[in-house]
A and B are shown apart, each in its own frame.
Chain A
Amino acid sequence: MNVLVCVKRVPLTGGKIVLTDDERAISTRHLGFTVSPHEECGAEEAVRLIEQHGGSSTVLTLGPPEAEEQLRDMMALGIDRAVHLVTDGSNEWDPQATATAIVEAIEAQPDPPDLILFGNESADAGNYQVAIRVAHKLGLPVVTGVKGITIENDLSVRLEQEVPGGRDVYVVPMPAVVTVKEGLNLPRYPSVPGRLRAKRKPLETSTPDRPQPKLEMVKLTLPPGSGKQTEVLGNGAEAAPAVVDVLSELGLV
């Protein structure tokens, strides 16, 4: 079978977020980067599915030249090849533009994928919609928030979606689009031979044109501070009585 997984390069933000001077981006100086958490689980799942059922896997990203690092990292997990839709890194792509570019790249692939995996939402923008747009453009069914994937036979896949109180099950014919959530699996730690091989795996690049955004970011702002005054209850075990006083006030003791 043929699995394609889409990922996005996002910064690792740490304890607080700092903006650039023009307030249109996060200042990423001194920040590390990674693949968005839901998507990393998607890539791991793709590798597992191919290990189990045979076939090949592809990882795709729409991102700046530096995003090649994330593609190589995903290939180090075992993904066979990568597609890099290169952006200039200075302008954001809104969900519709992203979906259009991805669809074009998928349609240009020699072998149509049986399963297209996305993260449920990206860690940074969190728009929740690229996968659904891609599915509609490709005329494919789509299920979101999936935490369990089982290929039933050549034709259909059983998907489990986490909901309050349990899991909802969908059985869907392939080809299909699936968005996954972290917790689907625990991504493996890549081996060094895997990383070295990944450096030489095929990487196809193209530079799509960016259309005008319909969801247009004007600027970014930090949420207002809560204005909270933190009440220090004490140091170490001696603070216990003060803590219990607070708990009593809250009606818990």
Chain B
Amino acid sequence: MILVFAERSDDELFRQALAFAHGLRDDVRAVGIDDSGGYSPDGCGAALARLVSEREPRAVLAPGTDRGNEVLAHVAAMLDLPMAANCTSATLGEPLTLTRVRWGGSLLEEARLHGSPALLTVAPHAVTAVDESADVELVPAATDARVRVSERVETVTAGVSLADADVVVSGGRGVGSAEGFAVIEELAELLGAAVGCSRAVTSAGWRPHTDQVGQTGTKISPSLYIACGISGATQHMAGCKGAKKLMAINPDNEASIFASADYAVIGDLHEVVPAISAEIRKTRGAG
């Protein structure tokens, strides 16, 4: 039996975890922890650990979200079992063999897990999600949690939130300055898109870290990602792998981003992006 921890911060990723679980060819049970008293990572971990001792599953899965990784790591620590985070595939066996993600997705690792039950989190967008969610059995959280959320501070985002946006327009080193982002913001507004940036931009202080797309920034999965003046370093690509379509605008035709791009424009973003904005206005005006 495969236990899947129903970490619901991202519903699609939970359903991907279910799909992964089904791929292991065993019964799948989805289990959620009642955190109405406030989320506690170790509380969830303890509750799951108890379930593991009671039900002896062959494997415990969780979506590879922040919470999923965190809770399963607690389970692993409490039971002193190995855990493999962000797996793209696995095959049950003695030992279990798996493939997992390194470098935010730019590298894969094939590994063996020597422990039972196997603890795995599922890499986002490695498998297609199941259409329907499963029934989730709710178990109470452990009462002796050491760490619990005491309050939630809402942040007000002007415009579309980066993580949820369907279209994202990003600028990189090529933008040249904080003011240079005006053309990016203009295009984003026309498309109802969120504005993102690369790590070089946040290091230079041109935009806040919350705008950063990348391995150590926000990981996005829009329908369309337009990357302007971004060369395509692996740490950046790790943040936008989830994009369905990638359009890259860069003056360097050898830039590594073009290897992952669906559409390419060779040119300086300071000329190309305003031209695109103008063309959009023209088309909308005429239509």
Residues of A participating in the B interface, judged by any CB pair closer than 8 Å: 13-17, 26, 37-38, 94-96, 120-121, 123-129, 132-133, 135-137, 141-145, 160-161, 163-172, 181-183, 186, 213-223, 225-226, 228, 230-241, 243-244, 246-248, 250, 252-253
Contacts and interface: CB of A to CB of B under 8 A. Distances in A.
Given A38-B216, A127-B83, A218-B111, 7 more contacts: A16-B234, A96-B82, A128-B69, A164-B161, A169-B149, A243-B276, A243-B279
A128 to B, nearest CB: 4
Contact of A129 (B83, B109, B215, B262): B83
A171 B77 CA distance: 22
Interface of B: 9-10, 39, 41-42, 66, 69-70, 73-74, 76-78, 80-86, 95, 97, 99, 101-115, 121, 146-155, 161, 163-164, 167, 191-192, 199, 202-203, 205, 208-210, 212, 215-217, 223-224, 231-235, 245, 247, 255-256, 258-268, 271-272, 274-276, 278-280, 283-284
Contacts of B151: 168-169
Contacts of A168: 39, 149, 151-153
A220 B231 CA distance: 25
Contact of A169 (B152, B264, B276, B279): B152
Contacts of B115: 214
Contacts of B223: 250
A144 B83 contact: no
Contact of B234 (A14, A163, A171, A234): A14
Contacts of A239: 265-267, 272, 275
Contact of B102 (A125, A234, A243): A125
Contacts of B203: 186
Nearest to B9: A164
Contacts of B262: 228, 230-231
With a 10 A CB-CB cut-off, give which of A16, A120, A214, A241 has the most chain B CB atoms.
Answer: A214
A247 B280 contact: yes
B83 A95 contact: yes
A13 B103 contact: yes
Nearest to B205: A186
A164 B280 CA distance: 31
B108 A230 contact: no
Given A13-B234, A38-B216, A243-B247, A235 B266 contact: yes
A224 B233 CA distance: 17
For the complex of A and B, 10 pairs with smallest distance between CB atoms: A15-B256, A183-B209, A237-B275, A214-B82, A236-B267, A136-B77, A240-B275, A129-B73, A128-B69, A182-B216
A40 B278 CA distance: 42
Contacts of B234: 13-17
B216 A181 contact: yes
A128 B70 contact: yes
B60 to A, nearest CB: 14
A226 B224 CA distance: 16
6 contacts: A17-B107, A120-B66, A128-B69, A166-B154, A182-B216, A183-B217
A19 B135 CA distance: 43
B155 to A, nearest CB: 5
Nearest to B192: A252
Contact of A145 (B66, B82, B147): B66
A236 B154 contact: no
Nearest to A139: B146
A127 B272 contact: no
A86 to B, nearest CB: 23
Contacts of B81: 214
Contacts of A15: 231-234, 255-256
B82 A170 contact: no
B102 A141 contact: no
A225 B109 CA distance: 16
